[in-house]
């Protein structure tokens, strides 16, 4: 169980690093060429990756990874939400308004 949680945390950290590196260029491309959406079409949350598989919960300092990113129905969408506390990724204390939190 601990190994599973650790692998999720590592995967999320890699996703965050990619977002930090590509965030500025993705926003520029979106503005200039009409690229991927700013907001997820299912939840309405702000996209943090170009394919919108990771979204940000407003006013919560949490990011959520879509467990089933192809799902178009809110009632079936599953999200794994995290925040960083004391340098470690932990489960988000705020439940997302849309989608089902799985962690």
Placement of tokens 């879509």 in the chain: 66
Q: Quick one: pLDDT at residue 100?
A: 85
pLDDT at 66: 95
Mean pLDDT value of segment 27-43: 66
Q: What is the pLDDT of residue 95?
A: 86
Per-residue pLDDT of 13-31, as tens digits, reads: 545 544 444 444 444 444 4
Each residue of 53-75: pLDDT tens digit?
999 998 888 999 999 999 999 99
**Which of the two residues, 21 and 87, has the higher pLDDT score?**
87
β-pairing verdict for 100-101 and 78-85: parallel
Hey, how many other C-beta atoms are within 10 angstroms of the C-beta on 9?
Answer: 15
9 vs 65: which has the higher pLDDT: 65
Predicted TM-score (pTM) of the model is 0.63
Q: State mean pLDDT over 31-58.
A: 83
pLDDT in the model for residue 26: 46
């Amino acid at each position: 169980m601990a190994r599973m949680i650790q692998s999720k945390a590592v995967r999320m950290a890699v996703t965050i690093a990619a977002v930090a590196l590509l965030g500025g260029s993705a926003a520029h491309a979106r503005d200039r060429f009409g690229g991927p959406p700013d907001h997820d079409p299912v939840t309405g949350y702000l996209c943090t990756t170009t394919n919108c598989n990771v979204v940000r919960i407003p006013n919560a300092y949490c990011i959520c990874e879509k467990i089933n990113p192809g799902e178009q129905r809110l009632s079936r969408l599953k999200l794994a939400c995290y925040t960083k506390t004391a340098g470690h990724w932990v489960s988000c204390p705020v439940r997302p308004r849309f989608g089902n939190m799985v962690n």
